[in-house]
Chains A and B, each alone.
Chain A
Amino acid sequence: MDSRAILAEIPRLRRYARAMLGNRTAADDLVQDTLERAWVRLSQWRSGSDLRAWLFSIMHNLRIDQLRRPTVSTQSIDEDDFEAPTRATQNDALEVKDIETALGELPDEQREVLLLVALEEMSYAEIAETLSVPVGTVMSRLSRGRERLRRIMDGQPLAARLKVVR
């Protein structure tokens, strides 16, 4: 595994983790855990296969592990925490803020798919492989997630289009 290839993936892993967790410190910790696990499991990576998909699936699995066992979260205090926000502010209309809040209210599994589609621009098949679920599951999570996000942002009741899932 090539250092430069890994280095090139880190910003994308950070962006996705930030969007998933909504918290800079927690997101960077998750990326750190992901990279550490990747080095430990290096032997499981088939050279020539998609490095990004492999790293994203490691991150996904780590996150599942974390969710399964509620951990005592620790916040490390370093200078990063005192940095001024660096994201672009020109679009800081209510709309953008609203989507961040609304995104946080989505179930994890729906948020995951939405973000892999919107940010990573992965194909549905790639997402299915990354998350180890059938493509049909990806599609239903995408559909339900998008509709739910729309309703949260519009302030509409959620029940309307949500059906009981078998």
Chain B
Amino acid sequence: MSHLPISEDELQAYVDSALPEARRGEVADYLAAHPEESERVRSYQAQKQALRALFNPVLDEPLPEKLCVLSSPPVAKASSPKSGFLARWSLERIAASVLIGAISGLAGWLAHGQYTPERMARLTPLSYQAAVAHAVFSPDVRRPVEVSAEHEDQLVAWLSKRMGTPVRPPKLGALGYELIGGRLLPGNVGPVAQFMYGDASGQRLTLFLSTENVSNQETAFRFAQEGKVNVFYWIDGTFGYALSASIDKDELARVATAVYDQIERK
């Protein structure tokens, strides 16, 4: 009976016990006749054992809290009474901490002249800035925006000019949110933009765009809950994005995904 030559792939499969029984025997015979190959296979098997010995103990470590939390559906998490801890971070507190941060940052600047954008940005993270801006402007019924959606072209031209880079509001009509307008806001070291959207029920949603301290970074979606405001934020290319609304996390995630997809498609 003639044996097919043993391929490299089959040797690998032999190491992983992934060969059919009959072929396994043939490979074993081949190895018995080729000590060098046999040694190589033994060494690969030892590698597998060593990797398991090295990393299997991770399986028994207690899970960090931040990972445990993420095993729950976000909806259940948002409505669960356990969110008391987050609720304690009321907007007043956040606003106060932002103010304290800004004052101490300014004091440091005046005292030492060691002002750096990174330092200020660390004091007021994107999600906080966005949540506070949302809380300040979204309840304003009469003047929620500086330039309304009727003048979208002007809004786009103006914000692009002030931000120093093309800025365009994503279209969220398919999700029931229509553009109300936008405004320019002071960020940590310069201008940032805010677009506001509203649905038929009057629910408002803001998209905060910053170009500060985000160069050459990319992050996955991150979620923050600041008082009653839920925020999804992420960094992509030259922009930091933060989408804020007082709607549940699941719904907000859907809108965030749509925003992300539109930006990606550009």
Mask of B20-55 contacts with A, CB within 8 angstroms, 1/0: 000000000000000000001001100110111111
Question: Once the chains bind, are B48 and A118 in contact (CB under 8 Å)?
Answer: yes
Across the interface, B12 reaches (CB within 8 A) one of A37, A99, A146, namely A146
Q: Is B16 an interface residue (CB 8 A)?
A: yes
- Closest Cβ–Cβ distance, residue A120 to chain B (whole Å): 11
Question: Once the chains bind, are B54 and A100 in contact (CB under 8 Å)?
Answer: yes
A99 to B18, CA, bound (A): 24
Tell me which residues from 6 to 27 in chain A have a Cβ below 8 Å from any Cβ of chain B: 6-7, 10-12, 14-15, 18-19
Q: Is A72 an interface residue (CB 8 A)?
A: yes
Nearest chain B residue, comparing its CB with the CB of A11: B59
- A12 and B59 contact, Cβ closer than 8 Å, known pairs A31-B67, A32-B70, A80-B64: yes
Mask of B122-145 contacts with A, CB within 8 angstroms, 1/0: 000000000000000000000000
- A86 and B57 contact, Cβ closer than 8 Å, known pairs A28-B67, A35-B67, A150-B43: yes
- A37 and B63 contact, Cβ closer than 8 Å, known pairs A18-B58, A118-B48: no
Q: Is B220 an interface residue (CB 8 A)?
A: yes
Question: Once the chains bind, are A32 and B66 in contact (CB under 8 Å)?
Answer: yes
| Contacting residues, chain B, for A62 (C-beta < 8 A) | 220
Question: Once the chains bind, are A41 and B257 in contact (CB under 8 Å)?
Answer: yes
* B interface size (C-beta, 8 A): 47
Across the interface, B216 reaches (CB within 8 A) one of A10, A70, A143, namely A70
- Closest Cβ–Cβ distance, residue A161 to chain B (whole Å): 10
Question: Once the chains bind, are B67 and A117 in contact (CB under 8 Å)?
Answer: no
Nearest chain A residue, comparing its CB with the CB of B10: A139
- Closest Cβ–Cβ distance, residue B220 to chain A (whole Å): 4
A66 to B66, CA, bound (A): 21
Question: Once the chains bind, are B48 and A117 in contact (CB under 8 Å)?
Answer: yes
Question: Once the chains bind, are B40 and A150 in contact (CB under 8 Å)?
Answer: yes
- A117 and B16 contact, Cβ closer than 8 Å, known pairs A96-B54, A143-B8: yes
Q: Binding site of B, secondary structure by majority: helix, strand, loop or mixed?
A: helix
A129 to B32, CA, bound (A): 34
| Contacting residues, chain A, for B55 (C-beta < 8 A) | 15, 18-19, 115, 119
| Contacting residues, chain B, for A69 (C-beta < 8 A) | 216-218
Nearest chain B residue, comparing its CB with the CB of A73: B217
| Contacting residues, chain A, for B68 (C-beta < 8 A) | 7, 10
Q: Is B256 an interface residue (CB 8 A)?
A: yes
A142 to B15, CA, bound (A): 11
Q: Is B101 an interface residue (CB 8 A)?
A: no
Q: Is A109 an interface residue (CB 8 A)?
A: no
Q: Is B253 an interface residue (CB 8 A)?
A: yes
Mask of A124-166 contacts with B, CB within 8 angstroms, 1/0: 1000000000000001001100110110000000000000000
Rank and list the top 6 A-B pairs by shortest CB-CB distance, nearest first: A87-B57, A35-B70, A33-B220, A7-B71, A15-B58, A118-B51
Write 17 A-B pairs (CB below 8 A) sorted by A numbering: A1-B73, A3-B72, A6-B70, A10-B68, A11-B61, A14-B63, A15-B58, A19-B58, A36-B223, A40-B253, A41-B257, A69-B216, A96-B53, A100-B54, A115-B51, A119-B51, A124-B18
Q: Give the interface of A toward B (CB within 8 A).
A: 1, 3-4, 6-7, 10-12, 14-15, 18-19, 28, 31-37, 39-41, 62, 65-66, 69-72, 80, 86-88, 91, 95-96, 99-100, 103, 114-115, 117-119, 123-124, 139, 142-143, 146-147, 149-150
